[in-house]
Amino acid sequence: MTVGRPREFDVDKALDQALQVFWLKGYEGASLSDLTEAMGITRPSLYAAFGNKEALFRKAVDRYQGWAKAASCRALSATTSREVVEQMLRVAADWHTDPCHPRGCMMMQGTLACGSDAEALREEMVSRCAEGQAAMQTRFEQAKSEGDLPDDADPGALARYVTTVLRGMAVDAAGGASRQDLYKTIDIALRAWPVNGKAQPNRVAKAMTRRA
């Protein structure tokens, strides 16, 4: 029951369009003309609805990260650390080569692709990416305590390694690598994963609920 002239466009759809533009062109590479044309609205409408360009970018990143976090949570709940990593990498490979949207990682394309004046933005994005790495680290610490990883395993270093491969794959995809190429890379990357000689007490029980 709002008063005043009703908005003529769908805010969420417009945000999706803006996300695509940022993904493709980066934060600074996406001009307001690019954005308003893709969103199908005029400049003042954009400012009234989203604040300014930076706020619009943040909202686009929020939406993007929502998807990423959902996929990440699903992967983190896999039974073994190895399965966590494999799912993480495969989902990323599928995502970064999905023909429904631009290739590569939106946050990397959008934020690494920005000059120095948006330094604060970049640092925020770096720390946002670090969240995912930290989540993996805690998951691997849990795996270690469960005996799913050997005693000499370094959860932090392992999480960093996976993050590095993820970032590399995102660049590969942005540069045109095919999904099959990324799959082959994943097969090799996974051979670095430590195998433990200890018993894994919860493994069978967890495996039964894995596909729930």
Partner DNA sequence: TTTCTTTTCTACCGGTCGGTATATAATAGA
Partner DNA sequence: TCTATTATATACCGACCGGTAGAAAAGAAA
Question: Residue 39 touches which of DNA, a copy of itself, none (CB < 5 to 8 A by kind)?
Answer: none
Q: Which 142-181 residues touch a copy of itself, going by CB under 8 A?
A: 154, 157-158, 160-161, 163-169, 171-172, 174-177, 181
Q: Which of 13, 37, 43, 178 binds DNA (CB under 7 A)?
A: 43
Which residue's entry shows tokens 């690019």?
34
41 belongs to the binding site for DNA (CB under 7 A)? yes
Site string for DNA, 7-36 (x = CB under 7 A): xxx------------------x-xxxxx--
CB atoms within 10 A of CB 174: 17
47 belongs to the binding site for a copy of itself (CB under 8 A)? no
- Non-local (6+) Cβ contacts of 193 within 8 A are 81, 82, 85, 158
Q: Do 84 and 78 contact (CB within 8 A), yes or no?
A: yes
- Non-local (6+) Cβ contacts of 148 within 8 A are 80, 81, 196, 200, 203
198 three-state secondary structure: coil
DSSP element (H, E) containing 62: helix 53-76
Two tokens, residue 124: 């925020």
Query: Considering beta carbons, is residue 167 or 206 the nearer one to a copy of itself?
Result: 167
Q: Which of 12, 44, 151, 175 binds DNA (CB under 7 A)?
A: 44
Q: Taking the complex as a whole, how short is the minimal distance between the CB of residue 115 and DNA, in angstroms? A: 9
Q: Taking the complex as a whole, how short is the minimal distance between the CB of residue 161 and a copy of itself, in angstroms? A: 4
Q: Taking the complex as a whole, how short is the minimal distance between the CB of residue 47 and DNA, in angstroms? A: 5
Q: Do 80 and 37 contact (CB within 8 A), yes or no?
A: no
Q: Which 51-70 residues touch DNA, going by CB under 7 A?
A: 52-54
Give the binding-site size for a copy of itself (rule: CB under 8 A). Answer: 43
Q: Which of 49, 71, 91, 114 binds a copy of itself (CB under 8 A)?
A: 114
Side chain identity at 168, as an amino acid letter?
G
Query: Considering beta carbons, is residue 21 or 165 the nearer one to DNA?
Result: 21
- DSSP annotation string for 86-144: HHHHHHHHHHHT-TTS-SS-HHIIIIIS--STTHHHHHHHHHHHHHHHHHHHHHHHHHH
1 belongs to the binding site for DNA (CB under 7 A)? yes
Q: Which of 13, 42, 94, 145 binds DNA (CB under 7 A)?
A: 42
